[in-house]
Chain A
Amino acid sequence: MQSVAEDTFVEEEANPFATKAIGLKRRDQIVSILLRLGTYFILSCAAYIFLDIIVKGAPVVFQAEAPFINTDFFTQSPETLMTFETASGDEYKMNFSEYTEFKTRNPAIDIVDEHSHAYSGGGIFGPLIGTVLLTGICIVIALFVGLTTAIFLNEYSSKGKFMDLIRLAIMNLAGVPSIVYGLFGLGLFCLVAPVVTDVPAPRAILTVPLLFTDSVLSFEGWGTCMLAGGCTLAVMILPVIIAACEESLKAIPMGFREASMALGATKWQSISKSVLPYAFPGMLTASILGITRVAGETAPIMFTAALAHKDKLPWQDIPTDAEANALSQSAEWVGGFFSQSVQAMPYHIYTVAARIPQSEYTKPMQYGSVFVFMVVVLIFAALSIYLRAHFRKKVQW
């Protein structure tokens, strides 16, 4: 009997249509392990990059004794680093400004073996300030225009082919390379945008006299300045902000608006009281995401706003007419402020990565800047990811 049973079993095994349960299971396991390996490989690449930058960058920023943070690195602007030895064999390493002072103080000193390392001394105060200003200008403009456009598109505009076309155009522009926005910003804001001036530049393409004043509106461009850079970044991020804000407006159920209107509220009342408050979290996430992206962009500001080296901070030494009244003086000051070019973190990193050789003296600046920049950008990124997850969990209709 035993053998018969075995025979039937063997026959079943030989069935050409049956699948081998064990083999399948093993294949499943192997494939899923492969997939898992692929996933964790990506994560380990990311971990490697982060760790490399943290290990080499953190020692520049933190120190062992109080206040535990290298304050000089955050309060000074980038400078040339001088290293030299004196004839007596002492070694010195100091920023260029200190170096000139040192030399005037010790005229007798015999300096041998002097080296200068461009951009490697000082700290990153200037670039940090520049990035904050650029990002701030950009976000104010982009949020204002983007939010209102999204509200118009979603709440006011009629549905139709034309609006679909505009939506499609906006979606498509979100994918245009940032360097193309840089070209556009240079062409429009730096070279053509209008300024109010008494003496128009010869390159102005059009001048319009302003009534009752001596000034003219001259289309000569703003030059390389933070306003041009901020506007370029704003234009770049605009499609993203519009799309994200519209998305969050769309997510509000129609019933909210209908209920409000049914109670007799006006259009604006229902938008401001029963739509915007609920769309707020989505918009907040969008704007933080926008900040993350804008702060990291280099290509659009390369020709529109950023400088590799600048001695003064943007608010220092803005020329104003001392004889004019306080109002026009402050107007002049504001205008002068926004037409300053700035240093910016991403451009600074590009400079220290591409334009200076690697050595033990340049490394602290290189890794320190990247470390600080990455931490700041990633904090914003983490915030936006957290907020999105948080609100998604919390808000349910």
Chain B
Amino acid sequence: MSDSNADTQKGSSDFEKRIFQRKGFTFFGLGLQDVIRYFFGGNASLAIIILILICFFLAKEAAMFFPDHHRGLKAYRSAGQEFVDYIGQEIEQHTRIYSSANIAYFAEVNRTSLEEDAILRAQRAVLANVESLTARSWKELERGLDNLEDAQEDLDDLKESEGALDASALSKLTKDIAQLEAKIVTVRAKLKKEVTVVLGSEKAWDLGGGGIGISSGARAKVLDAVLFEAFPDSKEDHPFIVETKAASRAKKGLEAEKLAGFKDTLKALQSAVRPMKDLHSDLKKIALESRKEINSLETAPARRDAWLAGAESTDDPAEKARMLARAGEVVIAAPDLSALNAPIYSSVDEHRTLLATLQAEVERLHKDLPDGAETESGRKNLKKADHYYGEFVTTVRENRDKIQGWRHDKSLGLMASVGAFLMGKDWVTNSSWHDFYGLLPLFTGSFLISIIALVVAVPFAVSAAVYVNQLANRREQTFIKPAIEFIGAIPSVVLGFFGILVFGETLRMVSQLEYLQWIPGFPMAERLTILNAGLLLAFMAVPTIFTLTEDALNNVPRALAENSLAMGATKLQTVFRVIVPTAISGIIAAVLLGFGRIIGETMVVLLVAGNKIKIPDFTEGLGVIAQPAHTMTGIIAQELGEVDNGSLHWRALFMVGVILFVISLGVNFTAQQILKKLQKI
């Protein structure tokens, strides 16, 4: 018997063999059962090979990232760009102090003329609103005026033209003009009516955040002014507006006089950094030239090879000679780095003296800045300036050693490249200076959004699970459970769509409400923020956390609950002191899996998070949630389509993918270990 079932058929009688076995099918000596088995086994290995390939492909691209990145970093150091950026950091810190103080100054100066400014702003905004709401009629009017002008020009031409005057044409034109004028009058009247109607509606007064902030008396006057401006009889502004402008200016002048000292300090602060800035821009030019030379020398062998290969493949002797000549022209040499960096080394002393003056100056001027301010914004920004001063001092101190000890040929290990990627604070691509691939801005964005999503989602999801599992009646259970699972089926792009078109604006309006101002970050100026993305992702994570938590609660043995109830505990005591603590590891696993789902989500964050590649500004504490951010998933989706295959940028994006892969594997693995432990109980 050539078939394979020897093991299952061992010892069976001839009779059984006849019933169950069909002879005949063999394939390379394998029986049917073996073939089936190997067919399934083959498919399983295919699946496993695919899953291994995923890891392989990601690892391959990522592994090639670090050597390339290392080369770039080395060039960055050799060209002296690193040195120049140290100086740049000091200047940047100084600018931060200056601009915060500047904002504070203007907040103070404008503090008494707030109402006038609000009126002027409102007038401009309402005028713009009205014009856009009645755009169609405006266009009609404009067209009418154009036609009139054309007709008048025609008339003038006709009059000026030599020869006999065409009487019929003249009369026709005059008639036309009269008609057009009449039409313009009616259109204008119609428009005036429309504008009045629009002005009465709330739509015209929708100033896009911040509210109107002016009294009703002023509002009536603004209305009047808008009407006046919409149909100008002269070039002059409406008297009310003129008056308001003058009042605003006078009040500002008065305040500015009081704050003259502050202004002088600001001016001195601004001019203190000027010599440093000059040095910086000079050195920057030099470093950029060096970098270009280093790059061109680095690619020289490849270019020569390309010319040689071209020469080899062509048959035309003249062309061949030309290509060989070009190949000969390519200079192959190691760049003379010490010569290139000579200007940089010679500037070290100059920088030291400049920095010493700058530091002394900033220290003195920082003390001169006013301690307190009358307005909220003024106080906040002065505090910020104070904070930035602290940062400035640390930056200067840290950079002093770095600058003194800086050498263009200091060795740079491969680990430095890993560090620059993982801890880098900038993600700058397509720059003429140097491309930075630092993960921190993206990681912070992803992490902040996930944390917000979890903070919002966990209470709701867990309480819903507890309610459905323990307290709800049967009817509610059969309705709520599928309904929440249904939420999980909403495609993420639909949620992102909702976030960008509806929720962003709603959230911004809500953030203006008076009684919600205790929430950090409110009122929000932007639609697409960390908070917006976080809330939508919270909604996405609810079904995952809910379902798994419910499972965990279900797995708690009934006996525990029954014992607790028998001891006289109330239902809720049983739930919160017996059932939930027993299921807590399952709930933790649920939260972890929810986190895994959130951090890997792409479309919502791509559409809604605002896509600004910068580490959010944490000086406002929790208010950071009102800022836009970029994420690890978002950057891949946004940039991968536009980069060349195999470039450093491309590999950096794959590297981000690897980080995501590792995070999600870690989270899933931990969650599964917890669940496994739970099952053993």
Contact = CB atoms under 8 A, between A and B. Distances in A.
A97 interface: no
Interface stretch (B168-176, B222-230, B336-344, B667-675): B667-675
Interface stretch (B31-39, B118-126, B347-355, B402-410): B31-39
Interface of A: 24-25, 27-28, 31-32, 34-36, 38-39, 41-43, 45-46, 49, 52-53, 85, 87, 89, 112-113, 144-146, 148-149, 151-153, 155-157, 166, 168-184, 186-188, 191, 203, 235, 238-239, 242, 261, 264-268, 292-293, 295-299, 302-303, 346, 349-350, 353-354, 358, 366, 370, 373-374, 377-378, 380-382, 385, 389
Contacts of B16: 264
B44 A298 contact: no
Nearest to B478: A389
Contacts of B63: none
B5 interface: yes
B602 A178 contact: yes
B678 to A, nearest CB: 15
B493 A32 contact: no
Given A191-B645, A264-B16, A385-B486, A89 B140 contact: yes
Given A42-B464, A176-B661, A353-B497, A264 B20 contact: yes
Given A39-B480, A179-B600, A191-B645, A261 B486 contact: no
A303 B640 contact: yes
A43 B480 contact: yes
Contact of A24 (B570, B599, B633): B570
B494 A177 contact: no
Interface residues of B, number: 92
B54 A181 contact: yes
Nearest to B17: A264
B641 A349 contact: no
A179 B604 CA distance: 12
B603 A171 contact: no
Contacts, number: 261
A179 B57 contact: no
Contact of A373 (B60, B494, B539, B542): B494
Contacts of A346: 491, 493, 603
Would you list the 10 A-B pairs with minimal beta carbon distance, nearest first?
A177-B600, A296-B491, A381-B489, A148-B43, A152-B40, A38-B463, A35-B467, A152-B44, A175-B668, A39-B464
Given A39-B464, A39-B468, A153-B44, 6 more contacts: A42-B484, A52-B502, A172-B665, A179-B636, A295-B491, A366-B497
A345 to B, nearest CB: 9
Nearest to B603: A298
Nearest to B668: A175
Nearest to A367: B501
B669 A268 contact: no
Contacts of B20: 264-266
Contacts of A157: 41, 44
Interface in B484-517: 484-487, 489-498, 500-502
B474 to A, nearest CB: 13
Interface string B564-593: 000000111000000000000000000001
Interface in B26-69: 32-33, 36-37, 39-41, 43-44, 46-48, 50-51, 53-54, 57-58, 60-61
A85 B539 CA distance: 44
A43 B484 contact: yes
A173 B51 CA distance: 8
A298 B492 contact: yes
B493 A296 contact: yes
Given A179-B657, A183-B636, A381-B489, A149 B47 contact: yes
A350 B572 contact: no
B37 to A, nearest CB: 6
A112 B143 contact: yes
A177 B51 contact: no
A374 B490 CA distance: 7
B86 interface: no
Contacts of B603: 298-299, 346, 350
Given A175-B668, A268-B36, A358 B47 contact: no
